[in-house]
Copies of this chain bind each other. A is one copy, B any other.
Amino acid sequence: MDLDAVRTFVAAADAGQFQEAAVELAVTQQAVSKRIAALERNLGVRLFTRTARGAELTIDGQAFLPHARELLRVAERAVASVRTGHRPLRVDIIASRGAASGLMRGFHRAHPEIELDVVMLFDIETAVAAIRSGAIDASFRAVAAPGRPLPEDIESVRVLDEPLQLLTGPAHALAGARAVTVAQLAGHRIWMPGIVPGTEWAAYYDDLVAEFGLTIEATGPNFGSDALLDTVADTPALATFMGEHTRLVWPAAHGLRRIPVTDPTPVYPHSLLWHRDNPHPALATLRAHLAATATGHDAAGTWTPGWVRPR
């Protein structure tokens, strides 16, 4: 199906005749006639009844019309999403099911009129470069890992400290615990495939391992969280870490246990990053929203790497 034909259909339906639609679209009446005929041939139904006084919609045409309008609306939005200048607010998150995703959903619920696009970049370095180039407007990341301080033109504010939980299968030694201490985790195998050295999240887990003498295995190919959950569910000796706000796909994770970690509770520090000079109005709205909805987390009993600025 051709969007030009759909546009022509809508114009003709609005005008009530092909001639006027042709003028509006700056083509000849014959071109409109051909476009409509082609659309009708593709759909297999008649859309107009032609009369000597114009063309009026058939019942099929009437049913098709709102769908055609919707199609043009969506096409318009799709084009707008990559239009330089006034485009939707573009935000980078670390994972589609993570805490930042939840924050953006909350923002969308509070401001459904604001157009949003969510992307997932590789690490904070990529994100900062994208922010500085204007390719994205904001990013949810942990700052600032050693050796890569934030440039001066990038601003940031901590928006969420997300406690880590232990995720185990039903047969795991700790599966029955209401909570586990970090000390208890020493000696257990914690599996987190997909950790890429050099990223800010790898730095976080490196520090966690170094400070408490944990064993985190990043070995093996990362087949995605579904495969990870399946393996953890079936393997008594394996567990993994997962943010408290991470939404799991439960049907595939049958029997999994989420166990809080204490003494101290490792928390992942999500900050919002943006460019000092970014004038996007929705960016200010997002910042205000996050500031207003931020839950006053108690830092007592929690742990973050030394390079994370205390709140």
Contact = CB atoms under 8 A, between A and B. Distances in A.
Contacts of A206: none
Contact of A70 (B74, B79, B90): B74
Contacts of A155: none
Nearest to A67: B78
A2 interface: yes
A6 B71 CA distance: 13
Contact of A1 (B3, B63, B70, B135): B3
A121 interface: yes
A146 interface: no
Contacts of A77: 67
A149 to B, nearest CB: 23
A59 B90 contact: yes
Given A2-B2, A3-B2, A81 B63 contact: yes
A62 interface: yes
Interface string A30-64: 00000000000001110000000000001110111
> Max chain B CB contacts within 10 Å: which of A59, A62, A130?
A59
Nearest to A40: B82
Nearest to A61: B82
B1 A43 contact: no
B74 A71 contact: yes
Contacts of A63: 81-82, 88, 90, 117, 119
B119 A62 contact: yes
Contacts of A117: 63, 66-67
A125 to B, nearest CB: 14
Copies in the complex: 2
Nearest to A58: B135
Interface string A116-134: 0111110000000010000
Interface in A116-170: 117-121, 130, 135-136
Nearest to A80: B67
Nearest to A42: B79
Contacts of A79: 1, 43
A82 B43 contact: yes
Contacts of A81: 63-64, 67
7 interchain residue pairs of minimum CB distance: A67-B78, A63-B117, A62-B119, A59-B135, A45-B82, A60-B82, A67-B81
Interface of A: 1-3, 6, 43-45, 58-60, 62-64, 66-68, 70-71, 74-75, 77-79, 81-84, 88, 90, 117-121, 130, 135-136
Given A1-B75, A44-B83, A59-B130, 17 more contacts: A1-B3, A1-B78, A2-B2, A2-B3, A43-B82, A45-B82, A59-B90, A63-B88, A63-B90, A63-B119, A64-B81, A66-B118, A67-B78, A70-B74, A71-B71, A71-B75, A71-B78
